[in-house]
Amino acid sequence: MVSEPSMAVDLGGIKMRNPINTASGTFGYGWQFEGFFDVSCLGAITTKGCSAEPWDGNPAPRMAEVTSGIMNSVGLQNPGIRAFVEQDGEYLSGLRERGCQVICQVAGHSIDEYVRAVELYGELAPFASGLELNISCPNVSQGGAAMGATPKAAAEVMRAVRGRTNLPVVVKMAPHDVPEIARALEAEGADALSLINTIPAMAINVHTRRSRLSRPTAGLSGPAVHPIAVRMVWEAHRVVSIPICGIGGVTSGEDAAELILAGATSVSVGTANLVDPTSAPRILGELEDWVREQGATDVNELIGAVEC
């Protein structure tokens, strides 16, 4: 009998039964998918970003389909952490008990807002296995760049929240200056990195000469960004020793395998959830097949195992 390979991974202290996670903003708060499959089969889910206070998000239209992807400008609409916990806490506690880790995403416009949000999660969300600090949303900047746009700015946010929580902190990175920002975050005590966030992009309706979304630019995701994500995970993996959650256009087990070979410890399924809500468990199955086919007894043997 062929023994089953071990699929368990450790994302900076978040002990996942397998490497498959979900990208924040593409998986609601988890329960929306229970009608499609048993969500607890996943290693983790990452919940929609929440801030200390509710955010309205951006006007419509917030989505445009482009070749091999979508662009969104949701702008982190969320009910605030209190309402989130009230509405979804019981479900998420149960999910955690069923063996799936729950990573809660933290949103903020300023260092103070990140700190308040981290503290609120600590007070109100005992179901959280870890926090994902979103310092790279391209749709919430108010005239300036995202909070994590430079190594210095990213480090400042990380430094401010590090002392405020004992939970593992994963930092969601923007798709630029990856080695520099990754090093800065590791130096400030980040437990793990997740990348990439959506890529700032633009789509124009040539008939009306207007942006196809309510803002001039929006975040591109889906298969179109996948090779860029693979490259950036590889770049980050070469310069830091903390684990990485690879994200970007994963629609198959092979896509997930590429990110793992490039250096990812876990892999998030994102846009694919919105297209085929059963994507994540299918990708998990395909990934297991690949690990077996590689003759590995443990998926950890394959992390960063690309031969360039």
Partner 1 sequence: MLPSSDVRQFAFDVASNERVGDGIFRMVMHAPGLAPILSPGQFVNVAVPGDPSHITRIPLSFAGTDPKAQTIEIVYAVVGEGTARLSRMGEGDASTVLGPCGKGWRLDDVSGPALLVAGGVGAPPVLAAARGLLARGIPFDVVLGAQTAGKLWGVGLAKSLGAGRVVVTTDDGTAGIKGFTTVAVEQMQGERDYADVLTCGPQPMMAGVARLALADGSSCQVSMERMMTCGFGACNTCNVAMAAGGYKACCTDGPVFDAREVAW
CB of 227 to partner 1, least distance (A): 15
CB of 306 to partner 1, least distance (A): 25
How far is residue 39 from each of residues 20, 32, 35, 257, measured CA to CA in Å? Answer: 11, 10, 9, 21
Cβ proximity to partner 1, 29 vs 121, nearer residue: 29
Residues that bind partner 1 (CB under 8 A): 25-29, 31-36, 48, 54, 56-57, 59-65, 67-70, 72, 74, 77, 87-88, 90-91, 94, 222-223, 271, 273-278
CB of 180 to partner 1, least distance (A): 31
**Beta-sheet strand order (sheet of 44-50):** 20-22, 266-269, 244-247, 192-195, 169-172, 130-134, 101-106, 44-50
94 marked ligand binding residue: no
Nearest alpha carbon to residue 13 among 270, 234, 247, 266: 266
Cβ proximity to partner 1, 43 vs 223, nearer residue: 223
242 marked ligand binding residue: no
Say how far residue 273 (Cα) sits from the centre of its chain. 13
Count helices and strands (H / E) in the chain.
8, 16
Helices (H), 166-277: 178-187, 226-239, 253-262, 271-275
Q: Can you tell me whether residue 281 is helix, strand or coil?
A: helix
Cβ proximity to partner 1, 54 vs 122, nearer residue: 54
What are the E-state strand segments in the chain?
A: 9-11, 14-16, 20-22, 44-50, 63-66, 69-72, 101-106, 130-134, 169-172, 192-195, 199-201, 204-205, 210-211, 218-221, 244-247, 266-269
Q: How far apart, in whole angstroms, are the C-alpha atoms of residue 28 and residue 194?
A: 18
Q: Can you tell me whether residue 61 is helix, strand or coil?
A: coil
28 marked ligand binding residue: no
Cβ proximity to partner 1, 80 vs 151, nearer residue: 80
Q: Considering just the CA atoms, what is the radius of gyration of the chain in Å? A: 18
Cβ proximity to partner 1, 252 vs 300, nearer residue: 252
Cβ proximity to partner 1, 275 vs 305, nearer residue: 275
249 marked ligand binding residue: yes
CB of 239 to partner 1, least distance (A): 32
75 marked ligand binding residue: yes
| 267 token code pair | 């892999």
49 marked ligand binding residue: yes
Q: Can you tell me whether residue 251 is helix, strand or coil?
A: coil
Q: Which of 104, 137, 245, 308 is catalytic?
A: 137
CB of 235 to partner 1, least distance (A): 26
CB of 77 to partner 1, least distance (A): 5
265 marked ligand binding residue: no
Q: Is 245 tagged catalytic?
A: no
**Residues of the binding site for FMN:** 24, 48-49, 134, 172, 196, 222, 248-249, 270-271
**Residues of the binding site for substrate:** 48, 72-76, 134, 197-198
Q: What residues are annotated to the active site?
A: 137
**Residues of the binding site:** 24, 48-49, 72-76, 134, 172, 196-198, 222, 248-249, 270-271
